[in-house]
Structure 1
C-alpha cells in the first residue's frame, strides 16, 4: 500500500510506475536529509536559549517557556496553510520557501539582541519556526513516499537520525557560545549583566547557512511523485477529508504528546541538572549534558532504521514509550548520577517515535496525504503547550513533580502503538 500525495506537477502516467524501471531516489533522499539536520540543530538551540534568556531577563519557568510557545506555536498556526501551499507549489518549492523564511527569522535575532527586548526574541523565533514548519510539511511526506511503502518508517527514521545529529551538536556549540558566559544559574543579578548580543553571531551564521543550502537545493533535481489513486477509489468519497481517518486523528494526538514530552524534558535538563540533589552542575557543564539526551536519540534512530525492517513499527513504538515512562519515573524517585543518567537515557526511547507515528498516521490517506501531513505538523504545538504547563507546575511544585507530565504523554503513545494506530480493515502486524 502506497503513501501517496497530492502533487501539482504531473509526471509519467500512474501505470508507468508499474511497468517502467524503478526510479532511483538516493540523490533526492540525500538532499532532503540535509534539511532534517538543519532544523534539528535550530530546534535544539532552544534548549540552550531558554536557560540563557531565563537567567539574563530573570524569568520564571513559565515565562521562559514562552520561547517554546512561540516556536512550536508556529506549527499550530502555520501547518495547515503550509500544507495547502505545498499542495499548490510542490515539495521542492515548498522546501525552498521554508529555507528563506527560516533565514529571515534567524537574521531577526540581530535587532532583537541590539534592543535587548525579550518580546523581539519571541517574534524572531516565531518567524524562524514558520519557515521550519513549511520545511517539515514538505519534507516528511516526501521522504515517506520516496521509495517502497513497506520501508517508509525505516526510511524516515534514517533521515531523522541526521536530524538528531543536529540536535546533538547544537547543545555543544550553544553551551560554548552562550552558557559559558553565565557564571551561575542561581545568581540572577550577575547573569542579568551579561551582554545578550552573544546570540547575534550564531544566528547570523545559521541564517547564512540556510540561504546557502536553499541555493544548493534549488540546483538538485528532485523527482516529482505521482499521486496514487487506486486505494482512494476504494475507500474515499468526494466528501471525505483527512480528519475522517481514525489513525490520523489519533496520530495527531500522538505527535502532540510525543513532541510535548520530548521538548519539556530537553528544555529543562540544564535547570534540572543544576539542582543540588541531582548534580549541582554549572550552566556550561549542564548544557553539555543536553547533547547526551539528543545524542541518545541519534543512536536510537540509526538503530531504529535497521530494527524497523525486522519488527512491527507499532509494537516497537509501544515498547519505546514504556521505556521512556519508566526512565522518567526512575529519575523522579532518585538523586545524583542515577537521576541524571535515567533522564538523559529517555532520549534513546524518544528516537523512533516521530518517524513511526508519522507514517502510521498517514497510512491509507491517499490524495489527502498532504493535508494529513499539515494536520500532523499542527500537532507539534504540543512542544508549546506541554512545556508551558510543565513550567507552571515547576514554578509551583518543582521540576521533579513536573516530570510526571511527560509520563502521562508516553502512556498515551503506548496505547496508540498498540491500539490507536490500527486502521479499519487493516490486519494487525
Structure 2
C-alpha cells in the first residue's frame, strides 16, 4: 500500500531552520520509519498462513490479521492528526514508535499462550502506532529541506517502503515459516501432548522476529529522542480554506474515488494475504518456496511502480488505471482456472499491475476539489478500511469452497471491475448545482 497521511494541514519549515543545519541524519531517520512500517505490512502475508496453522484457524478467521491492522488505521486516521497537531512531529513519532514496539513485544506472551486474540490485540496496537508514524513522517519528509525538492525527498523515502516489500516476506520466510505442515488428519492422530507441543513450537517462531522488531523500534525511538530535529511550523487547512467534511460528498468523482480505493486496498490485501496458500495449493510449491516467491512478488510490485510512473508521462492516468485494472482482473480469472507454476506468474503480474493504483486513484479522486481537498483526502485515507473487510469475505468464499483457494480469487476480480469503471467513467468531474 502507498504511504498515507491523515494530517489535515500543510507544513512549512522556517528558512532560518535550514541554515547551518545538517539535515541528512534526520532524513535518514525518517527513511528508517518508511522501511519499518513497510516491514510490518509486508510480513502480514507470511503471518496469516503461519497463524492459520499454529492457531488452527479457518481461512476467514486468519484474515482477521488484516482486519486488526487496517481497522487500527481507520480508527486512528483522525486521532493521529489531532495528536500531531497537539504534540508536534518529534513527539508524535516517539509515541508511534513506542506504541508499535509495545504491540510487537506482545507477540511473545501471545505465542507463549497460543492465543489468537492476543496476536490480534498486538497487531491492532502495532497498527495504531504505525498510523501515527505515517501521519507524521510523510509531511515531515516532504518539508525536511529545500521546498523545490520535496517531491524527490518523499519519493526517495517511499523507496525504502518499497524495499520492505521484498525484505519483509524474505525475513518472514526465513525466521517464521517452518516449512512443515500437517494435515488435520495427521494432527488428529497425534497424542494431545504432542499436538500441543507442535502447535506451541510453530507459534514460538514469531517471538524472535517480533521481539527484534520491538527492540529496533525502541532503538530508533531513542535516536529520535536524543537527536535535535528541525522544528516545523503548522499551517492548517482550517486557517486557509473553508472546505467542509461532509460537503465533499457532493463531488461524484470523489465518491467513486473512495469506493474504488476501498476495493483496491481490499483486492491488494487479498492477493498478499492468500499468496502463499495459492502458491502451495494452486502452484504446487512447498511453504518455504511460496514464501520466497512472495518476496519476488514484492519486487514486481516495486518494479511496476517505476514502470507505471514512466508510462504516466505519456498516457492519461485514468486510461492507464483502467488498462492496468483490466489486466489484473484478467490475471485473476486465469489463476482461477489454471494449475502449476503459471499460477505464481499470474500473481506476480497482478502485483505489477496493482502498483500504480493507490496513488492514481487518490489523485483522480481529489482532482479539482479546491478548498475541499483536505476533507476529501481524509475520506480517501479512511477508505483503506477495505483491507479489513474484503479479505474476510474472500476467506469465507474459500471456506465455503471446501478450502479450495482458487474460487476465492473471484473476490479481487470483482474489485478490479469496480476500478475499471472508475478509470473509464467514475473519475470524471461533473458539474453540480448547489442549492442556495
Q: Which TM-score applies when normalising by structure 1? A: 0.82
Equivalent of residue 272 in structure 1, options 275, 278, 285? 278
Question: Structure 1 residues 240 and 53, CA, compared in 2 at 3 Å: closer, same or farther?
Answer: closer
Give the Cα separation in 1 of the matches to 2:149 and 2:318.
13
Equivalent of residue 224 in structure 1, options 218, 228, 232? 232
Q: How far 1:296 moved relative to its partner?
A: 0.7
Give the Cα separation in 1 of the matches to 2:278 and 2:163.
23
Q: How far 1:76 moved relative to its partner?
A: 2.2
Question: Structure 1 residues 310 and 270, CA, compared in 2 at 3 Å: closer, same or farther?
Answer: same
Question: Structure 1 residues 249 and 272, CA, compared in 2 at 3 Å: closer, same or farther?
Answer: same
Q: C-alpha offsets along residues 141-194 of structure 1, whole Å, 9 cap, x if unaligned?
A: 666788889996x87666444322102111111111121253456776278614
Give the Cα separation in 2 of the matches to 1:286 and 1:66.
21
Contact 1:31 1:220 in 2 (8 A): no
Question: What are the equivalent positions in structure 2 for 1:260-339 lying under 5 Å apart?
Answer: 260-275=266-281, 278-339=282-343
Question: What are the equivalent positions in structure 2 for 1:372-411 lying under 5 Å apart?
Answer: 372-397=376-401, 398-411=404-417
Question: Structure 1 residues 280 and 142, CA, compared in 2 at 3 Å: closer, same or farther?
Answer: same
Give the Cα separation in 2 of the matches to 1:88 and 1:368.
23
| Partner SS, residue 56 of structure 2 | coil
Tell me whether 412-421 or 324-333 shows the greater mean CA deviation: 412-421
Contact 1:231 1:364 in 2 (8 A): no
Q: How far 1:54 moved relative to its partner?
A: 0.8
Question: What is aligned with 2:206?
Answer: 199
Q: How far 1:222 moved relative to its partner?
A: 5.4
Give the Cα separation in 2 of the matches to 1:223 and 1:309.
35
Give the Cα separation in 1 of the matches to 2:54 and 2:6.
48
Give the Cα separation in 1 of the matches to 2:244 and 2:112.
53
Question: What are the equivalent positions in structure 2 for 1:103-252 lying under 5 Å apart?
Answer: 103-140=101-138, 159-180=157-178, 182-184=180-182, 189=187, 193-194=198-199, 195=201, 196-217=203-224, 219=227, 221=229, 224=232, 227=235, 236=242, 243=249, 245-252=251-258
Question: Structure 1 residues 264 and 411, CA, compared in 2 at 3 Å: closer, same or farther?
Answer: same
Q: How far 1:198 moved relative to its partner?
A: 1.5
Q: C-alpha offsets along residues 108-147 of structure 1, whole Å, 9 cap, x if unaligned?
A: 1111112221110110011011111222333446667888
Give the Cα separation in 1 of the matches to 2:150 and 2:309.
9
Contact 1:155 1:305 in 2 (8 A): no
Query: Tell me, which stretches of 5 or more residues in structure 1 are unaligned?
Result: 14-20
Give the Cα separation in 2 of the matches to 1:150 and 1:307.
22
Please, what is the CA RMSD of the aligned residues? 3.8
Equivalent of residue 37 in structure 2, options 36, 39, 56? 39
Contact 1:227 1:367 in 2 (8 A): no
Q: Which TM-score applies when normalising by structure 2? A: 0.81
Give the Cα separation in 2 of the matches to 1:73 and 1:229.
26
Give the Cα separation in 2 of the matches to 1:155 and 1:10.
15
Q: C-alpha offsets along residues 267-326 of structure 1, whole Å, 9 cap, x if unaligned?
A: 111111221xx3222211111111122211111123344444444333332222122111
Question: What is aligned with 1:16?
Answer: none
Tell me whether 102-111 or 352-361 shows the greater mean CA deviation: 352-361
Give the Cα separation in 1 of the matches to 2:297 and 2:140.
28
Query: Tell me, which stretches of 5 or more residues in structure 2 are unaligned?
Result: none
Tell me whether 134-143 or 289-298 shows the greater mean CA deviation: 134-143
Q: C-alpha offsets along residues 202-253 of structure 1, whole Å, 9 cap, x if unaligned?
A: 01111122223334445364573764879965xx467875555544433322
Matched residue count: 412
